[in-house]
Amino acid sequence: MIYLDHAATTPLDPAAAEAMAPWLDGRPANPSAVHAAGRAARAAVEAAREQVAGALGVAPLDVLFTSGGTEADNAAVLGLARAAREAGRGAHVVTTAIEHHAVLDAARWLAEREGFALTVVPPEPDGVVDAERVLAAVRHDTVLASVMVANNELGTLQPIGAIGAGLAERGVPLHVDAVQAFGRAELALERWGVAAAALSAHKFGGPTGAGVLVLRRDVACLPTSLGGGQERGLRSGTLHTAGIVGCGAAAALAAQRMATDVGRLAARRDRLAVRLLAIDGVTRNGHATARLPHNLHVAVDGVDGEALLLALDAAGVAVSTGSACQSGAAGPSHVLAAVGAPLDGVGHVRLTVGRTTTTGEVDAAATAFEGAVARLRAQGGGFW
């Protein structure tokens, strides 16, 4: 299989698997226990916390472990907004129309179930949100703004620096979904004035079921899970030692490799783009340059996206029609709808290369893509 769906999940890095192995051999691994086995697990968790903190340039105490990006996004959006309202600072949240559903659905929950006001800022047609439009949405009672660093479908990079600076002037905390960006783009959380950020280990070579919430200690946040008081009392539950160790190892590796990985990823992505965009009726979705280095998102005129995905899968090429978290969902992508992409008679496919993707695989995938598009068009495009 030629795997071109790295935005959905990345293969577990061998070094991360090796770091996890001692914690998967059946030994007791409850970091909350006070006996020797518990202390050893706690030491491993704290070492991983320092690895993640070092990779992000933040303090270890600001790193909290979660089950993944969805939990981290939920905990930040719900916890920060509720804490601010409890303190009497207001009840208005700002986000964008292209956020992951982990953010959008949490924000809508606040609006529909808890009486918060919500402003959803639309993107520009190129998939980039205008920083001034985000800042113009801020009101006197705004308690939180949530804007992703990079879109999980189109791969477009958002102007977080400008947004963070403007929000700081207005005294509004900023939460960022950094799940797609870590290891592939700059994450200057402190310089941007970010109050909270979410990461997911399986997006950068770590295991599934492990994630990170970076939360500054000077920002009030109410817990979304209660129990044993783990993770500063904000995320109760026995910590997943093996997953956290793998997350830490993968984060350290991703930070070390980023300088060389970005160029390699961009070269493979661009090689693929040259071939695919040369096909009649195939165009790029999203900004041409303000995007993650591994992401190529294309619109294919006259071909159904699901039919193209299945044709490529049969040819041994794995791609996606959108966010993996949305697989099987009815209706078009909310991101494509937000940017006004044509949906009738047009298929949309996301191809994302990884650090192990070879030029030979890129060329073979492009040849398979060309053939699949030609066959589907000859058969009516694969539309039902």
Residue type (1 letter), 18: E
Q: Which amino acid is at 308?
A: L
Dihedral pair phi/psi, residue 371, rounded to 5°: -65, -40
Residues 6+ apart with CB under 8 A from 249: 13, 15, 16, 18, 19, 20, 48, 51, 206
**Nearest-5° angle of CA 102, CA 67, CA 206?**
105
How far is residue 317's CA from residue 352's CA, in Å, rounded to a whole number? 11
What is the Cα 235 distance to its own chain's centre?
20
Structure tokens at 26: 């059946």
CA distances to 90, 108, 139, 173 from 117, rounded to whole Å, are 9, 9, 10, 16
CA distance 238 to 1: 37
Listed in order, strand segments (DSSP E) in 159-225 are 174-177, 196-200, 211-215
Classify residue 43 as exposed, middle or buried by CB count within 10 Å of its CB (0-12, 13-18, 19+): exposed
Distance (Å, rounded) from C-alpha 201 to C-alpha 19? 14
Specify whether the CB–CB gap between 142 and 170 falls below 8 A: yes
| DSSP structure string for 150-175 | B-TTT-BBP-HHHHHHHHHHHT--EE
Distance, in Å, from the CA atom of 47 to the CA atom of 119, rounded to the nearest integer, reads 40
Residue 123 has, within 13 A of its CA and on its CB side, a CA count of 28
Give Rg (Cα) of the chain: 21
Pairing of strands 174-177, 282-284: unpaired
Handedness of CA 182, 188, 194, 196 (dihedral sign): positive
Residues designated catalytic: 325
Contact 330, 43 (CB under 8 A): no
